Amino acid sequence: MRRSTTSAATDRRRTAIGALLVTELICALFLVGRPHAEPAHPVIAAPASLTTPTAASTTETLDDGRTVHLVSLGGARTAPLLARIAPEMNDASRAVTEFWGADWPHDIVIVAAGTDAEFGTLAGGGPDTAATTTAERIMFAPGAAVMSDASLRIVLRHELFHYASRARTAGDAPRWLTEGVADFVGRPPIPRPANAAQLAQLPTDAELSDPGPAGSQAYDRAWWFTRFVADAYGADALRALYLRACGPGHPDAATAVRETLGADLPGVLTRWQKWMSG
């Protein structure tokens, strides 16, 4: 089962889960957003019940004043899943705001689909996908109910960042940065692995699109780059890089790096390689 799909314009990203769950630590290291082929299901407009609270919904107010609409579309697994998501929302919102700032939507819609067919029709996700995100909502598939607490927490924070940043993210933003930053927000820090030096290469779109282990490693590399930037230049610089490189009308990545980090891209990559080995 793939963990998540984030939809932004024509861009779709998914996350592999299940097979990589050896321990929670490994889960935190490897389970990140990964691209996938366009879904076979047509993505149709969501009914009003997905964006307007109904009798099937519960509404909660977070500590920061944001309102979360938890919408169940029926089925045996939706209520237990939403009951697990609800107590994670305050920390997830804080994690997003700590990095992104408070200027993001105050209404959050989280939907739990009742069936795989429903999830496929409304969200464009297949039976191997756990969640999707659009500008309107985050939707979880029924299969997300089997995820461990740690994996679900990562998915929620990752997808909530995409939800928060969607309005300021261009459809053609560099995927290695949008997904790397989402993982920076969503995944807990861990020690650098033994093969760290091999990971100090920015992934290409082709690598990010690989459905196998190479794709997972490509997303790890994107994540490690954002970890490096935050450590070497500061989290504020990482956010500035995201806004410059991923925002509407963004320049090429090399220009964005030079303008926000004050160094040329080759020099930054060389410093990253040394950081990974250190």
Tens of pLDDT along 47-99?
Answer: 556 655 555 689 999 999 999 999 999 888 999 999 999 999 999 999 999 99
d(CA 39, CA 139): 15
pTM for the model stands at 0.84
Q: Are strands 138-140 and 107-112 parallel, antiparallel or unpaired?
A: parallel
Q: What is the pLDDT of residues 113-154, one digit of tens each?
A: 988 898 988 887 766 678 889 889 999 999 999 999 999 999
Distance (Å) of CA 275 to CA 46, 184, 224, 270, 278: 45, 17, 10, 9, 5
124 near 39, Cβ under 8 Å? yes
Q: What is the pLDDT of residues 234-267, one digit of tens each?
A: 999 999 999 999 999 999 999 999 999 999 999 9
CA 203, distance to chain mean position in Å, is 17
Asked if pLDDT for residue 39 goes beyond 60, the answer is no
Q: What is the pLDDT of residues 223-237, one digit of tens each?
A: 999 999 999 999 999
b/e code 216-255 from CB counts within 10 Å (16+ = b): bbbbbbbbbbbbbbbebbeeeebbbbbbbbbbeebeebee
* Nearest by Cα to 43 from 3, 12, 79: 12
What is the mean predicted confidence (pLDDT) over 109-115? 93
What is the mean predicted confidence (pLDDT) over 3-26? 34
pLDDT at 10: 24
Stronger pLDDT, 14 or 199, i.e. the higher one:
199
Averaged pLDDT of the chain = 82
What is the mean predicted confidence (pLDDT) over 179-204? 92
What is the mean predicted confidence (pLDDT) over 203-221? 84
| CATH 3.40.50 matches 2-168 | no
Stronger pLDDT, 208 or 81, i.e. the higher one:
81
pLDDT at 48: 58
pLDDT at 158: 94
Domain ranges across the chain: 2-168, 175-277
pLDDT at 97: 98
The HSE-up count of residue 164 (CA atoms within 13 Å, CB side) is 27
d(CA 14, CA 6): 7
Asked if pLDDT for residue 188 goes beyond 70, the answer is yes
210 near 218, Cβ under 8 Å? yes
Retrieve residue 185's tokens: 């927000």
